[in-house]
Chain A
Amino acid sequence: MSEQTLTIDDHDHHDHGPAKGLLRWVFTTNHKDIGTLYLIFSLTMFFIGGMMAFVIRAELFQPGMQLVDPGFFNQMTTMHGLIMVFGAVMPGFVGLANWQIPLMVGAPDMALPRMNNWSFWILPFAFTMLLSTLFMGGGAPGFGWTFYAPLSTTYAPPSVTFFIFAIHMMGISSIMGAMNIIVTLFNMRAPGMGLMQMPMFAWSWLITAFLLVAVMPVLAAVVTMMLMDIHFATSFFSAAGGGDPVLFQHIFWFFGHPEVYIMILPAFGVVSEILPTFSRKKLFGYHSMVYALIAIALLSFVVWAHHMFTVGMPIGGQLFFMYATMLIAVPTGVKVFNWVATMFKGSLTFETPMLFAIAFVVLFTVGGFSGIMLAIAPVDFQYQDTYFVVAHFHYVLVPGAIFGIVAGVYYWLPKWCGKMYDESLGKMHFWLSFIGLNLTFFPMHFVGLAGMPRRVPDYALQFADFNMMASMGAFLFGTSQLIFVYLVIKAVRSGKEAAQVPWESAEGLEWTLPTPLPYHTFTTPPVIEQK
Chain B
Amino acid sequence: MEHTSDSYYVPDQSIWPIVGAIAMFLMLGGTGLVLNDLQNAEHASQSSSLIMYSGMIILTIMLFGWFGNVIAESRRGAYSPQVDISFRYGMSWFIFSEVMFFLAFFGVLYYARAFSVPWLGGEGDKGISHMLWPDFEAVWPLLTPPNPELFTPIKEVIDPWHLPLINTILLVTSSFTVTFAHHALRHGDRAKIKIWLAITLIFGLTFLAFQAEEYIEAYQHLDLTLNSGIYGATFFLLTGFHGLHVTIGSIILFILLIRVFKGHFTPDNHFAFEAGSWYWHFVDVVWLLLFVVVYVF
Contact = CB atoms under 8 A, between A and B. Distances in A.
Are any A and B Cβ atoms less than 8 Å apart in their complex? yes
Interface of A: 19, 24, 26-30, 107-109, 111-115, 117-118, 121-122, 124-126, 128-129, 158, 161-162, 164-165, 168-169, 172, 175, 178-180, 182-183, 186-189, 191-192, 194, 213-218, 220-222, 225, 227-228, 231-236, 238-244, 246-247, 250-251, 254, 312, 314-315, 520, 523-525
Contact of B28 (A114, A129, A213, A244): A129
7 contacts: A27-B18, A113-B10, A162-B29, A183-B93, A189-B1, A244-B111, A314-B125
Most A CB within 10 A of own CB, among B94, B124, B230, B231: B230
Interface of B: 1-4, 6-8, 10-18, 20-22, 24-25, 28-29, 31-32, 35-36, 38-40, 66, 82, 85-86, 89-90, 93-94, 96-98, 100-101, 103-105, 107-108, 111-112, 115-117, 119-120, 124-126, 129, 132-133, 142, 145-147, 150-151, 226-234, 236-237
B116 A218 contact: no
Secondary structure type dominating chain B contacts: helix
Contact of B17 (A121, A124, A250): A121
B150 A241 contact: yes
A109 B8 contact: yes
Given A217-B97, A217-B98, A247-B111, 7 more contacts: A29-B13, A121-B18, A125-B21, A179-B93, A191-B3, A242-B117, A247-B108
B8 A179 contact: no
Given A122-B21, A244-B115, A213 B93 contact: yes
A225 B13 CA distance: 38
A221 B100 CA distance: 9
A121 B20 CA distance: 9
A312 B226 contact: no
A239 B29 contact: no
Contact of B145 (A108, A222, A242): A242
Most B CB within 10 A of own CB, among A125, A227, A250, A523: A125
B233 A234 contact: yes
Contact of A250 (B89, B111, B237): B111
A279 to B, nearest CB: 31
Nearest to A221: B104
Nearest to B26: A125
Contact of B147 (A194, A222, A240): A240
A161 B229 contact: no
A161 B28 CA distance: 10
Nearest to A250: B111
Contacts of B98: 217
A234 B31 contact: no
Contacts of A231: 35, 38-39
A221 B112 CA distance: 16
A241 B13 contact: no
Most A CB within 10 A of own CB, among B32, B90, B98: B32
Give me the 3 closest cross-chain CB pairs, A-B, nearest first: A242-B230, A221-B104, A240-B147
